[in-house]
Chains A and B, each alone.
Chain A
Amino acid sequence: MPHIGDKQPVSQPVSEPVPRPVSLGTVTLTVNGEVHELIVEPQWTLQYVLHDKLGLIGTKEFCGEGACGACTVILEGRPVLSCLMLAIECDGKNIETIEGIARANHPLIEAYIKHSCMQCGFCTPGFVVTAKALLDRNPDPSIEEIKEAMVGNLCRCGTYPAHIRAIEEAAAILRGVLVAQGGEGRD
């Protein structure tokens, strides 16, 4: 039986005070086409800077360690997990977030609404960003290719089947083989 019978008070090892980071860095991030000059601490993640400093709240933190895809952004054309990138590494880089994709009226947005791809919605922006990066590089993905691209995005509500339908539809609209239906709420 697991049992620690020692009732004597024991001291927890105490670590020494951690010095506050001193080496601040200036970075220039181009986010959704807008240039931001920022002073960042070296340990700040890109997700933290986008969400907390630039107010781009669509870049969500779910797992915080690269396991879920909720914080996905497109960095120089590639989908990356912004919780695993340090902002200081991104100096001079182009970054596209969900807000930029929405502003561009990407057909994924309306397809996601139509196919009810969201439930609680917390992970949804990360899915849209990952899907957008997929369609940028592969305008006509097969279902297997969609699954392979999206498998790193976790949805606890289990909305997965709807995403495949929405991504196929958005791809068809982008290729011009399907006409987009008018949406509301773009304000």
Chain B
Amino acid sequence: MTDEKQRSDERLWAEEKQRMLESFDNKVADRYPLKEFHNIGRRGVRRTDGYEKATGAARYTLDVQLPGMLYGRFLTSPYPHARIVSLDTSAAEALPGVRTIIRWDDPEMDVEVPLAGHELNSIRPLSNIAHWQGEEVGAFVCADSEEIAEQALKLLKVEWEQRPFVLDVEKALEPGAPLSNPEYNPDGNLAPNDIYVEGHGDPEKGFAEADKILEFKFTFGQNTWVGPERPCGVWRWNGEYAEVWVKQQRPHIAKRAISQWFGGIPMNKIDLHCLYQGASFGGWSQMGWNLGGMYCAAVAAKRTGRPVKWLFSRREDFYGGEMDAGVFYLKVGCKLDGTITAVEERGVVVNQAMPVFGIAKHFIDNTRVPHVRGRTEAVWVNRGPNVPTRCEQNLNCYSLCWVTNRVADALGLDPIEVALKNDGAEGHDIEWLNARKAELGFPVRDSLRECIAAGKAAIGWDQKWHPPGTKRLPNGRMHGMAFTWTHEWDDSAGSSEVGIYIERNDGTCTILGCRADGGQNAETTYCQIAADELGYPVEMVRFKHMDDAGFFTMTPDTSTNLSVNGWAVRHAARLLKQRILEAAVAPRGVTQLTSFPPAFPGKRPEELDIKDAVIFEKANPENRMSVADFVGPSGAQGPIVSPIGEPILAGREGLGYPMRLTPPTFDFAWHVQRGTYLGLRLRFCRQAHFMEVEVDPETGEVEVTRVVTVNDVGKVINWEGCEGQAYGGAYMGVGRGRTEEVVWDPRTGIMLNGNLLNYKIPTLMDIGEIQTVLLETGMGYGPYGAVGIGEDVATVLPALIGPAVHNALGVWIDRYPVTPDVVLAALGKA
């Protein structure tokens, strides 16, 4: 290689790596977008998981069966708060087929170990105290079948000490209330670190400036995720190696936790498989305890020498829930033109098993409201843990929805006017935000106005919207319409690593990463990005989940799949392309015997390009070689020597003997993203949603006849994926707002409806029609200007049913889900 060429190559590499570093902690627009797209943003790209999932071939952890495998199930508490005084396992152990029973007081369970979750925290994997009815407690029974394990659980003789319990958050705050968890907080049911305060400005000043002050309250019932695949996992010891199957949204954190068990298992002695997951939308993956079953399975597998699968029952899955349950008090000051001067909010929320999250954030992130104060009090009661379930921002979205619509109602304005009047960020108006867009290199577009224009046209807002309680339909029902809005997000702090390489023989491209699939079609999206960056047809690219959590690809948490992994895939593909072009101009097959001329002699990498998986000279496209020919076949044995001692050549230059002449074409890249929670990034893209309902004033029944979702996703990479998240989120959102609630018996503290017959998730017929609109303003921080969409609609939509019912009836409901009894109560009929 000449010095000049070497300098040129080094310069190109340095440039690409510099670009990668620039986009870490990215606070600016994508500076190096592609000039043209072929697969990115194209409709009809075939899902890479489509055939597996449509034919039932896709494997989930629940499907794993291993020779000799045992099935493990937990004893659960029949009482909402109780301690096991004594446990007699003899009858259960005598049942044929029972192989071992792990007790909380067994010596090997006298440990505190990290059991994953959002981050690691060390706790006992099996306790003898239950803080909610249904909690896994005291014993883990392993048997030849799940059925035998269940029978054995019934044979456990347990002496319980019942403790006082409390279910209601506000009652839990009253003086003298029973302590729900004296082990965690002996002084009350609200621990000091479970209070979260946020805000800016001085709300009192804002109220003084207001023409009108509103005060209102609403409550939100407990909903949950209902993951179709029950929580489960499998552990097998292969000698000193641990082989683990996890149903886990965060397999890499799971592996980190496991590596600290049993005195430490080296990371490279753990084989961790993460198959497809029957989604849990965050769910149990987020719990601090979520690997408790895994730990018990590991201990049982060690005792018995057999693989162990642990499972929850369907009912046990219902005990954890979404963190939007609670009671919310709002005070709002506004001017007569709809300008909001102050928002003060207090939320009393239930069992937030992760760091407590704010409820008034969207007024800060997303509006010009100068005076904001939010206070979240996360109270512990004797119910299961609540965690972000698509997602933790529900309450922020609900608050913005209620304030926008209550202010509009109080002032006789269209809620859309109120939204546009208050759009902004950090207490500044939209002009200020536009100046920031320009500074950071983004297009300057008014995302909310564009979303609203699209949504109004789609739903016919100008023709159909009416003052509250004024439109009776021919069928006797009242017609209602409502609108809400907020920003788009991809919030999580996250990091991603991916590998990428070109396969020998056919030149196909493989992206290596850790699968954490929840169905978002993310893997196809990565292939689209790699294809366009490399100059490949998308059909020649596959995301191959490493059969282990190796390259720690970012997980789907907080809509961050694409905005983190998209960068990593893009960096990796660009580096790989650079590596291919560099190799194409370098001598090949450099051995002690000989070397061969470059595939493109006398050329520099920047004179070449790749299209349709063919390397070609830009100035002379006839000078070309497919990547497949270039990388050559696999398994070649190297130069063979002719009878007169000369090496026999191969490849394009020689005899066609399958000899490997090129170095392996492998590269990798990574990406780091700091969370927007840290106030690092302003949000520019908006979303607006519209709903139409019919309400029967006699029965209180609410029918959602039409939903229009409008999401400015910055840039659409995969249309079907984005639209699926939007209409899928609409179903989940309507379910949460309209029918879904976990109910406890107040007398006994027992959950009453932990099943799919009595907990109603939406069916095909629960929304009349959904129209999904996607806008592309390019104002996202992700690659090509994209933002996430996974959580948005399911999170924003639930509260919208309240204003829609108000528009129909002219009265405000005050609690969710908006079941018929809630509507009748609002009408004074119940």
A59 and B94 alpha carbons, distance in the complex (Å): 33
CB atoms of A116 and B47 under 8 A apart: yes
A152 and B756 alpha carbons, distance in the complex (Å): 12
A154 and B759 alpha carbons, distance in the complex (Å): 12
Which residues of chain A come closer than 8 Å to B159, judged between CB atoms? 9-12
A1 and B44 alpha carbons, distance in the complex (Å): 57
Q: Closest approach, in angstroms, between the C-beta of A163 and any C-beta of chain B?
A: 7
Assess whether B52 is interfacial by the CB under 8 Å rule. Answer: yes
CB atoms of B47 and A118 under 8 A apart: yes
Which residues of chain A come closer than 8 Å to B96, judged between CB atoms? 20
CB atoms of B46 and A119 under 8 A apart: no
CB atoms of A120 and B277 under 8 A apart: yes
Q: Given A65-B757, A114-B44, A158-B727: A120 and B518 within 8 A (CB)?
A: yes
A150 and B157 alpha carbons, distance in the complex (Å): 45
Q: Closest approach, in angstroms, between the C-beta of A186 and any C-beta of chain B?
A: 7
How big is the A interface, by class?
A: 35 or more
CB atoms of A122 and B229 under 8 A apart: yes
Q: Which of B44, B732, B756 contacts A68 (CB 8 A)?
A: B756
A61 and B278 alpha carbons, distance in the complex (Å): 11
CB atoms of B724 and A102 under 8 A apart: no
CB atoms of A102 and B519 under 8 A apart: no
Assess whether A25 is interfacial by the CB under 8 Å rule. Answer: no
Partner-binding segment picked from B55-63, B477-485, B495-503 = B55-63
Assess whether A34 is interfacial by the CB under 8 Å rule. Answer: no
How big is the B interface, by class?
A: 35 or more
Which residues of chain A come closer than 8 Å to B53, judged between CB atoms? 118, 121, 124
A118 and B166 alpha carbons, distance in the complex (Å): 41
CB atoms of B539 and A184 under 8 A apart: yes
Q: Given A63-B755, A151-B765: A119 and B51 within 8 A (CB)?
A: no
Q: Given A116-B724, A159-B724, A184-B539: A122 and B228 within 8 A (CB)?
A: yes
Which residues of chain A come closer than 8 Å to B56, judged between CB atoms? 56-60, 97-99, 102, 124-125, 128
Q: Which of B162, B227, B728 contacts A6 (CB 8 A)?
A: B162
Assess whether A33 is interfacial by the CB under 8 Å rule. Answer: no
A15 and B230 alpha carbons, distance in the complex (Å): 27
Chain A stretch 34-59: residues in CB contact (< 8 A) with chain B: 43, 51-52, 55-59
CB atoms of B151 and A18 under 8 A apart: yes
Q: Which of B158, B167, B756 contacts A2 (CB 8 A)?
A: B167
A116 and B721 alpha carbons, distance in the complex (Å): 8
Q: Closest approach, in angstroms, between the C-beta of B353 and any C-beta of chain A?
A: 21
Smallest CB gap from A160: residue in B: B764
Q: Given A10-B162, A64-B314, A147-B765: A156 and B155 within 8 A (CB)?
A: no
Q: Given A62-B228, A70-B228: A120 and B46 within 8 A (CB)?
A: no
Chain B stretch 2-54: residues in CB contact (< 8 A) with chain A: 44, 46-47, 49-54
A51 and B158 alpha carbons, distance in the complex (Å): 34
Smallest CB gap from A5: residue in B: B164
Assess whether B421 is interfacial by the CB under 8 Å rule. Answer: no
Q: Closest approach, in angstroms, between the C-beta of A95 and any C-beta of chain B?
A: 14
Which residues of chain A come closer than 8 Å to B724, judged between CB atoms? 116, 119, 157, 159, 162
Smallest CB gap from A1: residue in B: B171
Chain A stretch 92-145: residues in CB contact (< 8 A) with chain B: 97-99, 101-102, 108-109, 112-125, 128
Assess whether B410 is interfacial by the CB under 8 Å rule. Answer: no
Q: Given A7-B161, A18-B151, A184-B539: A67 and B49 within 8 A (CB)?
A: no
Assess whether B749 is interfacial by the CB under 8 Å rule. Answer: yes
A183 and B50 alpha carbons, distance in the complex (Å): 11
Which residues of chain B come closer than 8 Å to A62, judged between CB atoms? 228-229, 278, 756
CB atoms of B46 and A17 under 8 A apart: no
A92 and B162 alpha carbons, distance in the complex (Å): 52
Q: Closest approach, in angstroms, between the C-beta of B796 and any C-beta of chain A?
A: 14
Which residues of chain B come closer than 8 Å to A118, judged between CB atoms? 47, 49-50, 53-54, 519
Tell me which of B56, B161, B727, B731 has the highest count of chain A C-beta atoms within 10 A of its own C-beta: B56
A157 and B790 alpha carbons, distance in the complex (Å): 11
Q: Closest approach, in angstroms, between the C-beta of B387 and any C-beta of chain A?
A: 17
A11 and B491 alpha carbons, distance in the complex (Å): 49
CB atoms of B770 and A63 under 8 A apart: no
Q: Which of A2, A64, A158 contacts B762 (CB 8 A)?
A: A158
Which residues of chain B come closer than 8 Å to A56, judged between CB atoms? 56
Q: Given A128-B54, A157-B279: A151 and B764 within 8 A (CB)?
A: yes
CB atoms of A156 and B46 under 8 A apart: no
Which residues of chain A come closer than 8 Å to B49, judged between CB atoms? 118, 121
Chain A stretch 14-28: residues in CB contact (< 8 A) with chain B: 14-15, 17-18, 20
Smallest CB gap from B744: residue in A: A2
Assess whether A153 is interfacial by the CB under 8 Å rule. Answer: yes
CB atoms of B155 and A17 under 8 A apart: yes
Which residues of chain A come closer than 8 Å to B226, judged between CB atoms? 156
Which residues of chain A come closer than 8 Å to B277, judged between CB atoms? 120
Q: Given A4-B164, A7-B161: A161 and B770 within 8 A (CB)?
A: yes
CB atoms of B166 and A63 under 8 A apart: no
Assess whether A185 is interfacial by the CB under 8 Å rule. Answer: yes
Apart from A12-B160, A162-B724: 11 A-B pairs, beta carbons within 8 A: A6-B162, A10-B159, A63-B757, A109-B54, A116-B720, A119-B724, A120-B276, A156-B225, A156-B228, A156-B279, A164-B764
Q: Can you give 7 A-B contacts (C-beta < 8 A)?
A: A2-B747, A14-B91, A17-B155, A156-B279, A158-B730, A162-B724, A186-B51
Q: Which 10 A-B pairs have the closest CB atoms?
A: A58-B56, A119-B519, A158-B731, A121-B53, A158-B728, A113-B50, A122-B278, A120-B519, A102-B55, A120-B279
